[in-house]
Chains A and B, each alone.
Chain A
Amino acid sequence: MLRLDSVSRYFGDHHVLDRISLTVPDGQLLCVVGPSGCGKSTLLRAVAGLLPAQRGTITVDGTPVTGVPDRLAVVFQEYGRSLLPWLTVRDNVALPLRRRGLGRAARREAAEAILDRVGLPGAARRRPRELSGGMQQRVAIARALVCRPSLLLMDEPFGSLDARTREDLEDLLLEVHRDEGTTIVFVTHDIDESVYLGDRVVVLSPGPGSRIVRDLPVGLPAERDQIATRGLPGFVALRTEVGRAVRGDR
């Protein structure tokens, strides 16, 4: 379980997050939506232990976050920068397995299995730059999943992909979430995406000093479909509500 208790962040004089309190139960897929520059990424980095502690406490499974928590993985938006171009796809994915004390053969086998899982069989020996953006982000997702994280943080992971690729990856994420039961915090500025993916949507107000302005359960059927789900009255109503909240309308 992930718990944020009155978390505030400042960068110098700039007030980014204002007393964010949030509890994410195990296995939930939480979408965090907000306008650009509202501190969504800062929130994610704070949970990942990448920012020095300031006000408030963050705990993962009861342990306060001081460094990068165990069994946590992050997928960033900039797949091109997040993958290491001098390593093959397989070695990129196998990198976090080194500290597990697995031998090279076992690491490679695990990497290839997870690459299969994300729909990239046969890409193991290629370099990230030889792949399309969508495929590169699949590699980054594979690298995040290879250690079987219990908490997966995603920072606008599909923001720079074309519509069709994004839909495919959204469905891949839903599939992984259903199969593995991983707790996922998914940050996006795309309102439709947040409602389509989430079990729950949290809306942040624009900065400075972002707060949680809405916390909405998504009551849609668990089985989602890119066309059918988006046409459901419940989907449309929720999208409208989230959209209003993001724009700051009452």
Chain B
Amino acid sequence: MSAEAGRGRSAVPFLLRWSVLLLAAGVWEAAARARGSVYFPPPLRIARHAYGLWFSGPPGHLFLTGAAVATVLPSLGRMAAGFGLAAVAGTALGIAVGRSRRAYALCNPVLQFARAVPPPALVPVFVVVFDFGTPMQVASIGFSAVWPVLVDTAEGARATDPLRLEVAAVLRLTAAERLWFLILPSALPRIFAGLRLSLSLSLILMVFSELLPGSDNGIGFTLTDAQTRSDLLTVWAALLLVGALGYLLNTGLLAAERRLAGRGRAA
């Protein structure tokens, strides 16, 4: 179908799509070599450094080195915990708020306010509550990431077609059936729009919370640790790693959305 093709296939072929990125990398490489500054190493050197640090492991470990596992795994774990909590709580609360007109009217100002607070500004509060360490980091990620998915889910649930709600009433669907067959699928595009925002916030908060003292592993810690040792190559490599991670996670979320939206629920 044409709509499907328009969404699934890009307007430009695969190679062309990556050409701008390659061009940017090429310009960066050339400029960095020309300047020869220790602070701005050329990307190829950064990539080679990152490869040596993290991706030169045995094939059995997906080519990941022990250092990669020790760095990336704790970060991903904290992020998964925080994002997972935010996704579940945000979707559930969002449906509840969105389906009740009174709850929506009462909660909307709070939600808009909570969403407007820059998430990293809240981290000091969590440091006081949880002290430094993983619980503080997970709480920071979760509490920051919960708002976009909550607000978007509420909007999505609120926008359920009133005619379809009448149909559900006439078919005498139970509350659970109405939720599963009507409200959740209706809100799905908005839920995923919120989840994408929440995911990128999770990544930001993951790195940020690991920059704080008290961390002894993770990508953020690698970043500060390398910086104190003036190991600029590792700093840049960690930045590249965060970028790649964000890209991969977002791609995964998009794939999940496409799968869920394409698959029908069996009645």
Binding site for B on A (CB under 8 A): 45, 48-50, 68, 72-74, 76, 78, 81-82, 84, 86-88, 90-92, 94-96, 98-99, 104, 107, 127, 143
Contact = CB atoms under 8 A, between A and B. Distances in A.
Contacts of B264: 86-88, 91, 127
B163 A81 contact: yes
B239 interface: no
A51 to B, nearest CB: 10
26 contacts: A45-B166, A48-B170, A49-B169, A50-B166, A50-B169, A68-B172, A73-B170, A74-B170, A76-B167, A78-B163, A82-B163, A82-B164, A84-B181, A84-B185, A86-B185, A86-B261, A86-B265, A91-B266, A95-B171, A95-B173, A96-B171, A98-B173, A98-B267, A99-B172, A99-B173, A104-B266
Interface in B109-164: 161, 163-164
A72 B161 CA distance: 21
Contacts of A87: 181, 264-265, 267
A99 B174 contact: yes
Interface of B: 161, 163-164, 166-167, 169-174, 177, 181-182, 185, 261, 264-267
Nearest to A104: B266
A50 B166 CA distance: 7
Contacts of B177: 95, 98
Nearest to A78: B163
Nearest to B184: A86
A50 B170 contact: yes
A129 to B, nearest CB: 9
Contacts of B172: 68, 96, 99
B167 A82 contact: yes
Nearest to A87: B264
Contacts of B163: 76, 78, 81-82
